[in-house]
Amino acid sequence: MSQIEQQAVTENAVDPAEQTAPAEQTAPAEQTAPIEPAASGSTQVQEADLLEVEEARQGPGGGQIDILLDSPMSVSVCLGNARPAVRELLEMGPGSVLRLDRQVGEPIDLYLRGIRFATGHLVVVDDHLGVRINEILATGQDSQGADGG
């Protein structure tokens, strides 16, 4: 350890008799004092003046979650899965049919960021496909990822 590092450790050492429990160590933000430099020519460092968590929540702009509520999220819909051999995939061409593991009318899965969050049924809305939501899954109810398990 260099002489400068030893001096910094010695200056910042706390006497065990002066230590307090963690709950008692919170000091008001106004009582910040600069820390003396360890050696001449060093940059002076000061402690950060941070607000308490309760104070930050009470300030203006605390309801900024509205920005997130209007943010678009991608939802994936899984109609089913298939596990063909590579040979079968290479033999496919226009008009080939890939058979899925789901029956007609069986619920399909909806995923948000790879997490299954709902089930539903495939519907037609005008000229588009859609999903009618049957059930929103409770948190932790289903841990299957988008790959089906």
- In 44-106, where do the E strands start and end? 45-46, 75-78
Highest mean pLDDT of the ranges 2-11, 25-34, 99-108: 99-108
Distance of alpha carbon 63 from alpha carbon 71, whole angstroms: 15
Say whether pLDDT at 63 is over 80: no
Mean pLDDT for the chain overall: 74
Please report, for residues 29, 63, 65, 116, the alpha-carbon distance to residue 60 in angstroms, rounded to integers and kept in the order given: 19, 8, 13, 36
Q: Is 0.75 topped by the overall pTM?
A: no
Say whether pLDDT at 104 is over 60: yes
Q: In the structure, what pLDDT confidence band is assigned to residue 146 with cuts at 50, 70 and 90? A: very low
**Nearest Cα residue to 73 out of 107, 105, 118:** 118
Sign of CA dihedral 13, 19, 21, 22: negative
List of residues 6+ apart from 37 with CB closer than 8 A: 43, 44, 45
The answer to whether 49 and 32 have CB atoms below 8 angstroms apart is yes
What tokens appear for 63 in the block? 């309801």
What's the whole-number mean pLDDT along residues 137-141?
A: 79
Distance of alpha carbon 45 from alpha carbon 42, whole angstroms: 9
Say whether pLDDT at 107 is over 90: yes
- Continuous segment of H or E residues that includes residue 117: strand 115-125
Say whether pLDDT at 10 is over 80: no
Say whether pLDDT at 71 is over 50: yes
